[in-house]
Amino acid sequence: MVTAPAQRPLSAYDVALAQFDAAAERLNLEDDLRQHLRQTKRELTVHFPVRMDDGSVRMFTGYRIQHNLARGPAKGGIRYHPAVDLDEVRALAMWMTWKAAVVNIPYGGAKGGVAVDPKHLSLGELERLTRRYASEIALLISPESDIPAPDVGTNDQIMAWIMDTISMQKGYSVPGVVTGKPVAVGGTLGRREATGRGVAIVAREAVRSLGIPLQGASVAIQGAGNVGLHAAQCLTQMGARLIAISDSVSGIYNPHGLDFPQVEAWKREHGQLHGFPGAEAITNDDLLALPCDILVPAALENQITGRNANQVRARLIVEGANGPTTPEADAILREKGILVVPDILANAGGVIVSYFEWVQDLQFYFWDLEEVNRNLERVLVRAFGEVASLAQQEGVDMRMAASMLAIRRVAEAMRLRGLYP
Ligand code: NAD
């Protein structure tokens, strides 16, 4: 069992390391590679000033961390959230390495973030913070070396500001420096919904493997952001029944099904789900314990833990968020016979379509939506099949199988490249 060092709660990095150690042990990975892969490669911390609307100057702290570059340039999102710290960004960077490897796209892993609540900034403050943070991490990011994308609290507008900032420094447009941009400035069709669409594709493959029909299957989703809302949209379009969804304020529940377009319109208009007519208000804890076919945690880390895993009554969990389940909870869910499709596979749709965006930017040649979605489907279905068959061969759960497949690919690249000098 994994425990945090005394006097502090389990961090996302504790969880990431515990998952890595278990898979490395199972793979019998050589000790030098194990030590190498437990560490991040580069960690940049920046403290920087931003002028606020009232004329005052406030200091902010941001990070950009690259975990491993053996398989290609670093790739990973940028998070704006008050809880962002070194350990969280390290964990997210490590998971990005495994995510790119498990779906077999040629990237290494990275992540960035700023400790800030973007909801408390005006649009002007958000833009100034973003441009200054982008300049501070310009040491690391470029289309060849490290390519950020949106994550919690960031969006396509923020990516456009980062792209513009780097382009101003260079003197020409550099669209390939970030992905998840608006289509008008070199973004790709299909990126905004890609992570949620990927969650839905993987959920469809997983219910098929369990013999549950997707038509009418009940779905509960924690988190009504980019990932949660698009997963809800795609799953309901595929015939599933959305029975509950939540945001950081509260959740809504109707066992007969929620009308997704109305839920989305309400969220857009009111900024929260609370008060949606025709639904019961529930807490996030209640949502995680609802009887349903598919539970999609799509908010933050450490949501399903040793404390509440016993109450989960879903048949399948598809991890839209990164790191929502702790190792202790994983063991309980396994015991209860609940299939968990792990984050590094389940939410890889975003990085897959980011990869397509980057390829299009490097070639200045853009695809239609049908081509993007067809290729997303192809890459994810192949990866799901590879993970599921490794899980069966090795008699392990899907998280272990996905980690083993990913670590094996990264380790192979490291052995081939050798040790420099
Ligand atoms: P987002 O900022 O668009 O949305 C996050 C949502 O979670 C918001 O609706 C917020 O209200 C809600 N939330 C926050 N705390 C909550 C809580 N305690 N309970 C319930 N809801 C809560 O972020 P996002 O881009 O949708 O990212 C969500 C998760 O998916 C994160 O773990 C992120 O790392 C992961 N992810 C995102 C992408 C992407 O392309 N955006 C790709 C892969 C993984």
From first to last of the 421 residues of the chain, give the pLDDT tens digit: 566 666 678 899 999 999 999 999 999 999 999 999 999 999 999 999 999 999 999 999 999 999 999 999 999 999 999 999 999 999 999 999 999 999 999 999 999 999 999 999 999 999 999 999 999 999 999 999 999 999 999 999 999 999 999 999 999 999 999 999 999 999 999 999 999 999 999 999 999 999 999 999 999 999 999 999 999 999 999 999 999 999 999 999 999 999 999 999 999 999 999 999 989 999 999 999 999 999 999 999 999 999 999 999 999 999 999 999 999 999 999 999 999 999 999 999 999 999 999 999 999 999 999 999 999 999 999 999 999 999 999 999 999 999 999 999 999 999 999 999 9
Atom of ligand 1 nearest to the CA of 194: 40
User: Rounded to whole angstroms, how far apart are CA atoms 369 and 352?
Assistant: 14
Task: State the catalytic residue, choosing from 111, 119, 170, 336.
Answer: 111
Tell me, in angstroms, the distance from the centre of ligand 1 to residue 393's CA.
33
Atom of ligand 1 nearest to the CA of 81: 2
- The pLDDT, as a whole number, for residue 3 is 62
HSE, side-chain direction, 13 A CA sphere, residue 13: 17
Atom of ligand 1 nearest to the CA of 249: 11
Size of the chain in residues: 421
Q: Whose CA is nearest to atom 41 of ligand 1?
A: 151
Omega of the bond leading into 261 within 30 degrees of 0 (cis):
no
- The pLDDT, as a whole number, for residue 1 is 59
- The pLDDT, as a whole number, for residue 2 is 65
First to last CA, the chain: 38
- The pLDDT, as a whole number, for residue 4 is 64
Instruction: State phi, psi for 377 to the nearest 5 degrees.
Output: -60, -45
Q: Whose CA is nearest to atom 43 of ligand 1?
A: 347
**What does the DSSP 8-state code read for residue 203?**
H
User: Rounded to whole angstroms, how far apart are CA atoms 284 and 245?
Assistant: 9
Tell me if 300 CB under 6 Å of ligand 1.
yes
- The pLDDT, as a whole number, for residue 336 is 97
Tell me, in angstroms, the distance from the centre of ligand 1 to residue 294's CA.
18
Instruction: State phi, psi for 2 to the nearest 5 degrees.
Output: -90, 135
Asked if 338 contacts 314 with a C-beta cutoff of 8 angstroms, the reply is yes
- The pLDDT, as a whole number, for residue 99 is 98
Tell me if 298 CB under 6 Å of ligand 1.
yes
Instruction: State phi, psi for 359 to the nearest 5 degrees.
Output: -60, -45
Look up residue 173 and give its amino acid.
Answer: S
Measure Cα distances from 134 to 51, 107, 139 in Å.
Answer: 15, 21, 9
Does 267 qualify as catalytic in the annotation?
A: no
- Among 247, 287, 351, 352, which is best to mutate for testing ligand 1, by the most ligand atoms less than 8 A from CB? 247
**What does the DSSP 8-state code read for residue 340?**
E
HSE, side-chain direction, 13 A CA sphere, residue 269: 9
Asked if 106 contacts 410 with a C-beta cutoff of 8 angstroms, the reply is no
- Among 117, 179, 188, 226, which is best to mutate for testing ligand 1, by the most ligand atoms less than 8 A from CB? 226
Nearest to 343 by CA among 113, 3, 92: 92
Strands (E) in 14-56, as ranges, are 42-51
- The pLDDT, as a whole number, for residue 213 is 97
Tell me if 154 CB under 6 Å of ligand 1.
no
- The pLDDT, as a whole number, for residue 84 is 98
Asked if 151 contacts 157 with a C-beta cutoff of 8 angstroms, the reply is no
Q: Whose CA is nearest to atom 15 of ligand 1?
A: 248
Phi-psi category of residue 337: left, alpha or beta, with phi > 0 → left and psi -120 to 50 → alpha: left
Tell me, in angstroms, the distance from the centre of ligand 1 to residue 325's CA.
14
- The pLDDT, as a whole number, for residue 10 is 86
Measure Cα distances from 278 to 102, 259, 271, 289 in Å.
Answer: 41, 10, 18, 21
List all residues 6 or more positions away from 390 whose beta carbon is below 8 Å from its beta carbon. 396, 401, 404, 405
- The pLDDT, as a whole number, for residue 48 is 98
Number of other residues whose CB lies within 10 A of the CB of residue 135: 16
Name the token pair of 257.
């099904």
